[in-house]
Chains A and B, each alone.
Chain A
Amino acid sequence: MIQEKALIFELSHPGRIAYSLPELDVPELEAESLIPAAMLRSETAALPEVYEVDVIRHYTELSRRNFGVDNGFYPLGSCTMKYNPKVNEDVARYPGFAKIHPYQPEESIQGALELMYQLQQDLAGLTGMDAVTLQPAAGAHGEWTGLMMIRAYHESRGEFRDKVIVPDSSHGTNPASASVAGLKTITIPSTDKGLVDLEALRAAVGSDTAALMLTNPNTLGLFEEQIQEIAAIVHEAGGLLYYDGANSNAIMGITRPGDMGFDVVHLNLHKTMSTPHGGGGPGAGPVGVKNLLVPFLPLPLVSKKEDGMYTLEGGSESSIGRVKAYYGNFGILVRAYAYMRSYGPEGLRRVSECAVLNANYMMKRLEPYYDIPYPGVCKHEFVMSGTPLKQYGVRTLDVAKRLLDFGYHPPTIYFPLNVDECMMIEPTETESKDTLDAFIDTMIQIAKEAEEQPELLLNAPYGTPVTRLDETTAARKPVLNCACS
């Protein structure tokens, strides 16, 4: 059995240090003479006392208990876990990018502003939009930013529209972002083909419709073929179309949200543009808009002056304001720009072609062994259902846990909500046929195990640092910190 890992606090030995700080080279004054005693710390913060080797071994050991794309195949649907190029990590760490302050005089940050300007242009070109803000820090933040602009747009026209329509297969952030923007959500069902139900949409739209939020291809991996009609229905009702860019990896250079009729789009640079997920962030969620929403873009925007200098000055009085401190997650923008330049126009299209072929290949090969609720052609991802395994007492969760023993990160499970025992598989373009074949063979083997030795799945995983964890107790009797002091 693998040993329990100590907390950093448990490694503490009074007297050890891991820091190296400059000597005090100015005359010292009594702290109490500078700050009233009541404002000074009354009890020393109980931080650990360790030396540098402890620190390195501790975090190295933690990293060994973690699984990233560099460890193996990570077909986590809707998350686009593609390879994170190493050169992008290098360039983001250039001192001229990493060690600059947003309030420096503009003449001393021209390189950073130029990069942001170019990225704004490239993302606008990629999505078919008229202008892009790089401010939002993540996809959900971009959704909220876009919805705030939509709300401001309607208000500017003297219209009160507070309903956001989302399909039942949408990401949970869509309705949550609508709430934070002060809008109400109407959820409409999908058809049995997994697409937007036009009749339900027609019934839902009206004079109170602010927007329809749509992911296309949707979370089932299906392209909404009737997108033009959907756009017409929403626009005729006076609403706007919001594109959730989480699934953009399927369509680069093939079709653009702007050409489909969308008015607002956010992209997840930490998905489509390969910036690393970092174990949960940072991301970046730039938002592109059509001309009608340009006056409402958040501040600041990077623009180019007549003399060729880049500036953050200016902006519209109707702007929704500021959505984040400073200028977005700049370090992520650098990585994304390096990624786009590494491919260029032709390469980005090829990325989507490979991502889509990989997904279709996997779906086809797995079809005889698992239930594929929406057969036919998928885009960059597809869903399977684990319902046929229920007869053996096995659930999708058990399949996921068994995959861990074979060195794979499982697919997204139990999402979207409209598919029972759902597994959502997104291979991405950076995985080879050999990798896909090996994973498929494993999935086939697991399906056989489910039939022949279901207990093998029910008790999985076996080779991981811990076995299945008691999540119920964790939520009922929360222990959320080590209470070290």
Chain B
Amino acid sequence: MKHRYLPMTEQDQQEMLKTVGANSIEDLFKDIPEEIRFKGELPVSKRLDEYALTTYLSALAAKNANTDQYPSFLGAGLYDHHIPSVINHVVSRSEFYTAYTPYQPEISQGELQAIFEFQSYICELTGMAVANASMYDGATALAEAGSLASAATKRTKLVVSAAVHPESRQVLHTYARGLGLDIVEVGTHNGVTDMAELAQAVSDDTAAVLVQNPNFFGSVEDLAAIGGLIHNHKGLMVVSANPLSLGLLEAPGRLGADIVVGDAQPLGIAASFGGPTCGFFAVSQEHMRRIPGRIVGQTVDRNGKRGFVLTLQAREQHIRREKATSNICSNQALLALCASVYLSVMGKQGLIEVGRLNLQKSHYAAGQLAKLPGVTLPHASPFFNEFVIKLPAGTSVADVNAKLLKQGFLGGYDLGRAYPELEGHMLVAVTERRTKEQIDQFVSLLEGCL
């Protein structure tokens, strides 16, 4: 058969078989026992030509409501921020996207420098000393942070706030089962981690307290207080941070965080149905040699010229095998590049400005929603760009969202999905992409649904 990606002609095949000393391609598979050879046609979907493929996939895509057409008030870990045009142009440079992990530094300086700059950006935003080249996502980064904390403290108990993303906690539980760690969950009060309950849960055998900031409800946690509490027991504070909030909110490193992780999706990465996004992982200096994954370091070449290499590889699976600090190999390098380009575009002023827009618009929306009859804001804690509303008793958030969808809007997250006690509560995200007009429309449509 002929195919546009396959260059081998009949003549090539004959010449090559002759060189090899085989009569047919079949000869090359003689080492596969007859009984396990596959016979007949593979049970996979039929072949499509390029036009048929794009037609078919366009039709599939059109069955989905996308956030260019449906103004979205849905966040819950993935946010509808503006993605500057230049990002797609940069990551579409195929020198970047068709390259492997930069094992040959002389011809991979571009990727290596880009990762070094990503690490620098993450350190600057989080206030930490060392960052790696990326993790799969924010959830797995949090789980790996738990693993690091356990190894560093030689303790096995992790205390996690119920205000951490429900899916991150689920992933943490799965990893913990593998690693033999115990997880204790601490409840919330007023939309933030319940400090009294936390104080009860933390003891001298606690490896770390894991919190999220802003947390899943959008509220800003009192990191300094939480850090003080766990440090009294010589455990670590792990903070999962929204990086876009860090133009406005204090760097977790300055509030006592020992490990800062998170998902870089808000930094110029499309939601893409939840992936690929980009986890990040940053630690204080003392944990440098326990960090999982790839790290790029600066060095010099034989002429003394600055260059970059993968470094501290003695931590990694390809050297240490079963003793590695993690099994991670492939990460999310191309998405880390998106985040770097985003931060280069936003710069010093832009990151502050986008934070300001998110803060102001979400507070405007919260104020307008609170005016609706029967709608309340159950939490009094400060928030950044996401907040909880309580709908009138007996209202189903799923029903409201179904009605909003028909009107061309994506409503907020139904908190009852993950928190049975929060049935009838909606988590509303408002980014800089939402205009006052859309917010007002959303408020009035929501009123119509009640």
B66 touches A482 (CB 8 A): no
**Is A202 part of the binding interface, using a Cβ–Cβ cutoff of 8 Å?**
no
Q: Which of A41, A324, A467, A475 contacts B247 (CB 8 A)?
A: A41
A100 touches B64 (CB 8 A): yes
Q: Which residues of B contact A178 (CB under 8 A)?
A: 322
A167 to chain B, nearest CB (A): 12
**Is B248 part of the binding interface, using a Cβ–Cβ cutoff of 8 Å?**
yes
Q: Mark A105-120, 1 if CB is under 8 A from B, else 0.
A: 1011111101100100
Q: Which residues of A contact B15 (CB under 8 A)?
A: 433
A275 to chain B, nearest CB (A): 10
Q: Which residues of chain B in 68-125 are interfacial with respect to chain A, using CB atoms and an 8 Å cutoff?
A: 68-70, 72, 74, 76-78, 80, 82, 84, 86, 88-90, 92-111, 113-117, 119-121, 123-125
- State in angstroms the CA–CA spacing of A283 and B333 once bound together: 10
Q: With A140-B317, A360-B20 known to touch, is A344 a contact of B178 (CB < 8 Å)?
A: no
**Is A5 part of the binding interface, using a Cβ–Cβ cutoff of 8 Å?**
yes
- State in angstroms the CA–CA spacing of A468 and B60 once bound together: 49
Q: With A254-B37, A349-B42 known to touch, is A9 a contact of B66 (CB < 8 Å)?
A: no
Q: Which residues of chain A in 18-57 are interfacial with respect to chain B, using CB atoms and an 8 Å cutoff?
A: 18-22, 24-29, 31, 34-36, 38-50, 52, 55-56
Chain B, residue nearest A332 (CB):
B276
Q: Which residues of A contact B56 (CB under 8 A)?
A: 341
**Is A260 part of the binding interface, using a Cβ–Cβ cutoff of 8 Å?**
yes
B327 touches A105 (CB 8 A): no
Q: Which residues of A contact B347 (CB under 8 A)?
A: 12, 16-19, 47-50
**Is B224 part of the binding interface, using a Cβ–Cβ cutoff of 8 Å?**
yes
Chain B, residue nearest A268 (CB):
B330
**Is B152 part of the binding interface, using a Cβ–Cβ cutoff of 8 Å?**
no
- Top 7 nearest A-B pairs (CB, nearest first) are A326-B274, A344-B47, A96-B61, A111-B63, A278-B334, A68-B98, A66-B110
Q: Which of B6, B59, B107, B335 contacts A282 (CB 8 A)?
A: B335
B345 touches A55 (CB 8 A): yes
Q: Which of A36, A180, A283 contacts B326 (CB 8 A)?
A: A180
B301 touches A469 (CB 8 A): yes
Q: Which residues of A contact B48 (CB under 8 A)?
A: 341-342, 344
**Is A393 part of the binding interface, using a Cβ–Cβ cutoff of 8 Å?**
no
B136 touches A112 (CB 8 A): no
Q: Which residues of B contact A102 (CB under 8 A)?
A: 78, 271, 273-274
- State in angstroms the CA–CA spacing of A140 and B42 once bound together: 27
- State in angstroms the CA–CA spacing of A49 and B231 once bound together: 37
- State in angstroms the CA–CA spacing of A178 and B320 once bound together: 13
B103 to chain A, nearest CB (A): 8
A26 touches B95 (CB 8 A): no
- State in angstroms the CA–CA spacing of A432 and B170 once bound together: 47
- Give 6 pairs: A residue, B residue, CB < 8 Å, sorted on A: A29-B360, A41-B251, A62-B114, A70-B98, A281-B334, A474-B299
B288 to chain A, nearest CB (A): 7
A109 touches B64 (CB 8 A): yes
A68 touches B319 (CB 8 A): no
Name the residue among B271, B318, B350 with the largest chain A CB count within 10 angstroms. B271
Q: Which residues of A contact B311 (CB under 8 A)?
A: 471, 474-475, 478, 480
A18 touches B345 (CB 8 A): yes
B35 touches A467 (CB 8 A): no
Q: Which residues of A contact B98 (CB under 8 A)?
A: 68-71, 84, 276-277
Q: Which of A96, A223, A358 contacts B31 (CB 8 A)?
A: A223
Q: Which residues of chain B in 314-358 are interfacial with respect to chain A, using CB atoms and an 8 Å cutoff?
A: 314, 316-324, 326-335, 337, 340-341, 343-354, 356-357
B97 touches A326 (CB 8 A): no
- State in angstroms the CA–CA spacing of A338 and B57 once bound together: 8
B350 touches A409 (CB 8 A): no
Q: Which of A21, A282, A475 contacts B275 (CB 8 A)?
A: A282
**Is B280 part of the binding interface, using a Cβ–Cβ cutoff of 8 Å?**
no
- State in angstroms the CA–CA spacing of A128 and B6 once bound together: 25
Q: Which residues of A contact B353 (CB under 8 A)?
A: 19, 21
Q: With A87-B53, A140-B330 known to touch, is A409 a contact of B7 (CB < 8 Å)?
A: no
B274 touches A39 (CB 8 A): no
- State in angstroms the CA–CA spacing of A58 and B296 once bound together: 19
B254 touches A42 (CB 8 A): yes
Q: With A281-B334, A324-B171 known to touch, is A104 a contact of B305 (CB < 8 Å)?
A: no
- State in angstroms the CA–CA spacing of A33 and B377 once bound together: 17
Q: Which residues of B contact A252 (CB under 8 A)?
A: 42
**Is B370 part of the binding interface, using a Cβ–Cβ cutoff of 8 Å?**
no
- State in angstroms the CA–CA spacing of A151 and B175 once bound together: 13
Q: Mark A338-374, 1 if CB is under 8 A from B, else 0.
A: 1011111111111101101110110011000000000
Q: Which residues of A contact B384 (CB under 8 A)?
A: 35
A41 touches B246 (CB 8 A): yes
Q: Mark B288-310, 1 if CB is under 8 A from A, else 0.
A: 10000011111111110111110
A122 touches B344 (CB 8 A): no
A422 to chain B, nearest CB (A): 13
B21 touches A330 (CB 8 A): no
**Is B378 part of the binding interface, using a Cβ–Cβ cutoff of 8 Å?**
no
Q: Which residues of chain B in 33-69 are interfacial with respect to chain A, using CB atoms and an 8 Å cutoff?
A: 33, 35-38, 41-48, 50, 53-54, 56-69
Q: Besides the contacts A55-B341, A278-B334, A474-B297, what 12 more A-B pairs have beta carbons closer than 8 Å?
A: A41-B251, A63-B95, A278-B99, A281-B331, A282-B136, A322-B173, A324-B275, A325-B139, A360-B20, A377-B27, A480-B116, A480-B131
**Is A177 part of the binding interface, using a Cβ–Cβ cutoff of 8 Å?**
yes
Q: With A26-B439, A143-B327, A353-B25 known to touch, is A104 a contact of B74 (CB < 8 Å)?
A: yes
B164 to chain A, nearest CB (A): 12
Chain A, residue nearest B35 (CB):
A228
Chain B, residue nearest A349 (CB):
B42
B99 to chain A, nearest CB (A): 4
Q: Which of B54, B65, B97, B177 contacts A68 (CB 8 A)?
A: B97
Chain A, residue nearest B335 (CB):
A282
Q: Which residues of A contact B271 (CB under 8 A)?
A: 98-102
B64 touches A280 (CB 8 A): no
**Is B407 part of the binding interface, using a Cβ–Cβ cutoff of 8 Å?**
no
- State in angstroms the CA–CA spacing of A175 and B319 once bound together: 11
Chain A, residue nearest B171 (CB):
A322
Q: Which residues of A contact B171 (CB under 8 A)?
A: 321-325
Q: Which residues of B contact A438 (CB under 8 A)?
A: none
Chain B, residue nearest A400 (CB):
B104
B26 to chain A, nearest CB (A): 9
B93 touches A59 (CB 8 A): yes
Q: Which residues of A contact B175 (CB under 8 A)?
A: 180
**Is B179 part of the binding interface, using a Cβ–Cβ cutoff of 8 Å?**
yes
B124 touches A45 (CB 8 A): yes
A185 touches B62 (CB 8 A): no
- State in angstroms the CA–CA spacing of A252 and B38 once bound together: 9
